[in-house]
Chains A and B, each alone.
Chain A
């Protein structure tokens, strides 16, 4: 472990180019706020942000009324200062966080400009963003678990797809939310087990193994959907987890309705975040997991069972992905449609990378990407000339920038993707 820590520091400090590149990205975003929004806005107009999600009389908060032009000037200055600091000094380890904040400010500036002279339900948008971030974040958690142990998981999408289909089918047959959820998790664990056997036992390339699962899950779920679910609608009509406001907390103004008036999946995401963050970084189990992912040979020498640790991590990752998959059918729509996950598993992968292979980072990235999604669905209503498709691209582009700017080769688990052969 010690050697890898030293290596990492070297990588981080040895790349001033990346620091400057990231600074330039900040600068570009800052200038975009100025040119695209601030200079095109009318100083006389004000933007009203409604902070209460529609139709819910909990935690009433007053509307925010902001003067559009000066708000954007302030945002330009803040992001400009961040850019200057990044170019000349550097945020070092916090760079990803700052990038997240800068992107969020950019989005905020965009909203303030797009809704100028009108009112926009920001509370509803944020509440929707939290909900949309659930599958992304859970997918990212699944990735973190697998990759911390050194097994690359690009099959998150396939596992989630499997979970959502089986959840809908079993949930409809048994008419039970709990059984449906458990079945979804088990189906995904089964896929994860296949991934584990192929990549750990047979040592085939983990990206190939992930591709096998993605193709297989796509084929299987579409097949079942066409052959069984569409023919027999009663088999595709599972119950849905209801909205579950938490007493007291849900009545806090602004945050209450956004965070504490959601369904079970949102709370489970918060609990999982805490559990994973602590167990990966503060417990002996987590230390072993990371050791296996960083330097399996050293871990083996110290008596850690590398193979067993990896199996466990991949299966747990599968369970989390299946839980995330169940969100699509049991947590929001109440029906399975083919290709339902629509790339959320891959955005989850992106969130994991943006979040630097940590649960807390993945969560932040998941929220940001969920926010981008939430806006993309509302752009048409806002009547802006920016096509919604460009908003949906934001997570992918951000990930590529992060990968080029900071992460590069240094930050991922050192033995990620390498099968372990005991000597």
Chain B
């Protein structure tokens, strides 16, 4: 986790105090060694997922009754068919891509590359949500409340999106995005403030805030924000055209500007964390609150700020989904982004670049699974199982190492203590 250096920072006193911490943190993990464990985790997850698909397929059992060989053959057939559908749904069909490029027909090219672009669309909220958790981790805070912050952010941007009329798009869309960020920031501010002022643990408070947010948005959508002609369905009015995040191509290709806004957010988080004094303070508070306190850093302020910013990123995830994809808010807004984002931050080593890569991986898997569900009737929830397995293997690399007989690393690398204990010490 603490694999970055800060030689440029003028905080000598801190380095004196927390010498040992920074000493262990100065060692930079190589790019490849950071990829080995997640890569093997993905592989192992896919293998276990395949076994799971086999075990839950009725055809396999009937084939095994005929003969052992045909059972194996059927198993192989089901798995290869599923994973091929997963791949084609996520990336596209390579043959079709080549053919489209050769033919040079614009429409054909777009159609052939659409699965890949769609994967990026699905990845976008994951990027925002993963960044939210990663920022919290860096400050030593465990923001489990991304899901709730996402809902509040989505509600705020929806409201700005449909209630203000007549603004030009260049103002309205950023305004709606900002509303989403502010909504999420407010929802993150509350547990941050509670942690700083009363010591109430942010894990519990953010879990509670999640459920309050679900109930609250439910109320909004059945009450003040309900669509007049919806016939008692809990949906909001449709947002104005001017509030929409523009899509680059014609329907059905949904690839939109939000993806680049997410990349911009990742860049901003990187700059904040690693290139500013504020980010240095924040990381020091996260790595060693005691040292930070002796160095005169304001822990309370950092905690509140980090939770608010984390909430703002989560709110952007919700706003992005509303403004670019859904265009109106309904209750089943999130596909569990909040909980998956914890996995993302861990797999991405709480580094913005890592988070973006992990988010694209998860988005790709989920997009591919939609196609897999259509062609092979395997429920999309297989992806949740895969994500849980990947998270488990990344969090406990010792399991992966013992499976693949990898050498144990040196002591410092193994430290995964990205967050303080439950008691808030």
Which residues from chain A sit less than 8 Å from chain B, CB to CB? 18, 152, 154, 198, 202, 204-209, 211-216, 218-220, 222-224, 226-228, 343, 346-347, 349-350, 353, 387, 389-390, 392-393, 396-397, 399-400, 403-405, 407-409, 412, 414-418
A152-B422, A202-B399, A215-B343 known; A403-B385 Cβ under 8 A: no
B203 & A154 in contact (Cβ 8 Å cutoff) = yes
| Cβ proximity bits B355-389 to A, threshold 8 Å, 1 near / 0 not | 00000000000000000000001110111111111
Q: Of B31-39, B64-72, B172-180, B192-200, which binds chain A?
A: B192-200
Report the number of A-B residue pairs with Cβ-Cβ less than 8 Å.
159
**Of B200, B392, B422, which contacts A400 at CB under 8 A?**
B200
Provide the bound-state CA to CA distance between A70 and B262, in Å.
Answer: 59
Is B199's CB under 8 angstroms from A212's CB?
A: no
**Measured between alpha carbons, how far is A400 from B206 in the docked complex, in Å?**
9
Q: How far is the CA of A169 from the CA of B223 in the complex (A)?
A: 38
Which B220-251 residues have a C-beta within 8 angstroms of A?
222-223
* Cβ-based interface call for B275 (8 A): no
Give Cα A418–Cα B424 distance, bound, in whole angstroms: 11
A228 to B: closest C-beta gap in Å: 7
Taking residues whose C-beta sits less than 8 angstroms from the other chain, chain B's interface range is 35 or more
Point out the residues of chain A lying under 8 angstroms from B207, CB to CB.
154, 346, 349
Q: Could you show 24 A-B contacts with beta carbons less than 8 Å apart? A: A154-B144, A154-B207, A208-B346, A211-B342, A215-B384, A216-B385, A219-B383, A219-B388, A227-B378, A343-B211, A346-B208, A353-B204, A387-B219, A390-B219, A393-B212, A393-B216, A397-B208, A400-B208, A403-B201, A403-B204, A409-B201, A412-B422, A414-B423, A417-B422
Q: Is the CB of B56 within 8 A of A389?
A: no
- Identify whether the interface residues of A are mostly helix, strand, loop, or mixed: helix
- Kindly report which residue of chain B lies nearest to residue A416, judged by CB atoms: B422
Among candidates A213, A223, A390, A400, residue contacting B194 with C-beta atoms closer than 8 Å: A400
CB distance from A19 to the nearest CB of B (A): 13
Beta-carbon contact of A417 and B56 below 8 Å: no
Q: Which residues of B contact A (CB under 8 A)?
A: 56, 142, 144, 194, 197-201, 203-205, 207-212, 214-216, 218-219, 222-223, 336, 339-340, 342-343, 346, 377-379, 381-389, 391-392, 395-396, 398-399, 416-419, 421-424
- Taking A409-B423, A417-B421 as contacts, is the C-beta distance between A218 and B336 under 8 angstroms? yes
Asked whether A206 and B396 contact (CB < 8 A) given A211-B391, A219-B387, A400-B194, the answer is no
Evaluate contact between A208 and B199: CB separation under 8 angstroms.
no
> Is B383 touching A409 in the complex (CB atoms < 8 A)?
no
Is A389 a contact of B388 with CB atoms below 8 Å? no
A209–B199 alpha-carbon span in the complex (Å): 23
Establish whether residues B198 and A218, one from each chain, have CB atoms under 8 Å apart when the complex forms: no
How far, in Å, is B413 (CB) from chain A's closest CB? 15
Smallest Cβ-Cβ distance to B424: which chain A residue: A409
User: Would you call B385 and A223 a contact (CB within 8 A)?
Assistant: yes
| Min distance, Cβ A162 to any Cβ of chain B, angstroms | 12
B212 in contact with A396 (CB, 8 Å): yes
Is B378 touching A389 in the complex (CB atoms < 8 A)?
Answer: no
Q: Does the CB pair A216–B384 fall under 8 Å?
A: yes
Which residues on the B side are within 8 Å of A220 (C-beta)? 381, 384-385
